[in-house]
Amino acid sequence: MRDRILGLPRNIFFLGLTSFFNDFSSEMVFAVFPAFFTSVLKTGAASLGIVDGTAEAVSNFFKIYSGHLSDRVQRRKPFVVSGYIVSVVTRPFYILISTVTGALGLRVLDRVGKGLRDAPRDAIISLSTPQEELGRSFGYHRAMDTTGAILGPLAAYFFLRYFPLRFDIVFSAAFLIGILAVLTLFFISDVTGRGISKGLRIGSFRQLSAQFKGVLLGTFVLAIGSLPIAVMLLKTKSLGLIIADIPLFYAVYSISYAVFSIPAGKISDRIGARAVISIGYLLLLGGYFIINRASSMPVLFCGFLFLGLFPAFTDGVQRSLAAQLSVPELRGGALGLMNASNGIGALLAGIIGGYLWQVYNPTTAFFAASVFIGIGLLIFLISARYPTDPVS
């Protein structure tokens, strides 16, 4: 067919390349964050948790804005392009900072870019794909995204292995790779709708189903129990591993995420999104147990391999559930609300988890997170009894 590359719609193919290069770039930076914070910024888990949690919260708030505005104007590409540019330009500036405040500013700006682009990008994917190929298109995009997320930490590992503490090399290389992500966007065509939608406003929140609102509350509490991966990577320090080894564990986490994402999606088609998401959080609890008990490098590897199952079973499936429980004309805003719920939870997870990890110990942080997951799962499962029809 015309306008297809390797059997994929043109937009889907190039958006996959964009995500590949961008995640290759961004995960190089993120994978060295624990080492950068401890060796350069001379700080620990509490600061790292605040930075990561705040950045993710800001990102998800912006997803509401971009999803709402793209619903209103029915234009997607300007948000996607500006979002990727904002993120990429932050990366070389890490070379210049020496304080946690500077790291926070750059990380927040990076996540602002992510917040601007994600919902409109997903809208382009869905609107560029025939209905019967949606699963394949989103699967390809997640595969390219996660492949980049695997290669980025591996590249960071080799840079730090052969050039110890040369974070400037990592940040510069990440910036150059990020430029490739921006360049691929020139091959993307915008997808516009017919007419103008009012989008999701505060007043129209009542139009969302009671079940959607119940899921929203449940995912918020669950997100509080999801400790930042950057904080958990500090476990490597307690085992006496060298700084260069930290990105390697993040790569193991990403490999697990990549390998099991598509099978988890297929399972959700058979047994339902709610069941798969619940399994995902139970797997997260298992990952907590293994990492907390790890006393050797092989066991810690197993812990992060196990931990990668959690986003594989929850990330895409959670979006699918939110889409199923929201009306089409409010889809972008509803997905934005779901992201915001996760974002506020991530902020609290970073602050609470990082503080408990640094001031008390990892066991206390894992225990508190597990309590929130238990409460969140209870709310999440009870919400299944609520009506699914929008309130008229």
pLDDT by residue (tens digit) across 47-106? 888 898 888 888 877 877 776 777 677 778 888 999 999 999 999 999 999 899 999 999
Rounded to an integer, the average pLDDT of 265-291 is: 88
In this model, does residue 165 exceed pLDDT 90? no
Distance of CA 65 to the CA centre of its chain: 17
Provide the token pair at 19: 């995500």
In this model, does residue 265 exceed pLDDT 80? no
Whether the Cβ atoms of residue 20 and residue 184 lie closer than 8 Å to each other? no
Cα 216 to Cα 344: distance, rounded to the nearest angstrom: 11
pLDDT > 70: percent of the chain: 90
Rounded to an integer, the average pLDDT of 256-267 is: 80
Half-sphere exposure in the Cβ direction for 139 (13 Å, CA)? 14
**pTM check: above 0.75:** yes
Among 249, 41, 228, 19, residue whose Cα is nearest residue 157: 249
Which residue segments constitute the domains of the chain, with CATH numbers given? 10-190+204-385 (1.20.1250.20)
Q: What is the pLDDT of residue 387?
A: 61
Q: What is the pLDDT of residue 1?
A: 44
In this model, does residue 325 exceed pLDDT 90? no
| Average pLDDT over the chain, rounded to an integer | 85
Cα 265 to Cα 269: distance, rounded to the nearest angstrom: 7
Rounded to an integer, the average pLDDT of 147-168 is: 91
Rounded to an integer, the average pLDDT of 271-285 is: 91
